[in-house]
Structure 1
Amino acid sequence: MITIPEVGYVKIDKILAVFPVSRSAFWAGVKSGKYPRPYKLSARCTAWRAEDIHALLASYKQEGDK
């Protein structure tokens, strides 16, 4: 089972392992503002804050509980 760490940065492959969308759909959501923006850690490394991904997953869980 893949888990997202509580703090730190997470690369897209790990996010997509727990988030049920395609890579292109996730990037489209980032562009539209639906998903959190990434951070460039280096010229070839893009990642998201783990806290932002946990908040996103929690918001979807809340919507599902309604």
Structure 2
Amino acid sequence: MNPIFPTEGFARLPQILDFLSVSESTFRRGIKAGKFPKPIKVNRTSVWPATEIRAAVDKLSEREG
């Protein structure tokens, strides 16, 4: 896992895309498909709980593995 990605708190879109090594469109399709959590708005900024992103990655890894 990318050491820059937070283990707690919130992550912004560029951090998540780098962590997952996917494009924005692929990530957004994953949100619509229910693979990834929906964003939370903090003021006008979209953020995701880092723990939820990590949990989604773990869940997807279990499906593949």
Q: TM-score, normalised by structure 2?
A: 0.80
Aligned to 2:32: 31
Aligned pair in 2 of structure 1 residues 54, 32: CA closer, same or farther (>3 Å)? same
Secondary structure of residue in 2 paired with 1:10: strand
Q: After superposition, what is the alpha-carbon deviation per residue over 1:2-22, rounded to whole angstroms, capped at 9, x for unaligned?
A: 532111000010011121321
Q: TM-score, normalised by structure 1?
A: 0.79
Range with bigger deviation, 32-41 or 9-18:
32-41
Whether contact under 8 Å (2:7, 2:51) holds in the other structure is yes
- The number of aligned residues is 64
Aligned mates of 2:64, 2:36 — CA distance in 1: 17
Aligned mates of 1:22, 1:2 — CA distance in 2: 19
Q: CA RMSD in A?
A: 1.6
Aligned to 1:19: 20
Letter in structure 1 aligned against 2:39? P
Whether contact under 8 Å (2:35, 2:56) holds in the other structure is no
Whether contact under 8 Å (1:2, 1:14) holds in the other structure is no
Which structure has the larger Rg over C-alpha atoms?
1
Percentage of matched positions with identical amino acids: 30
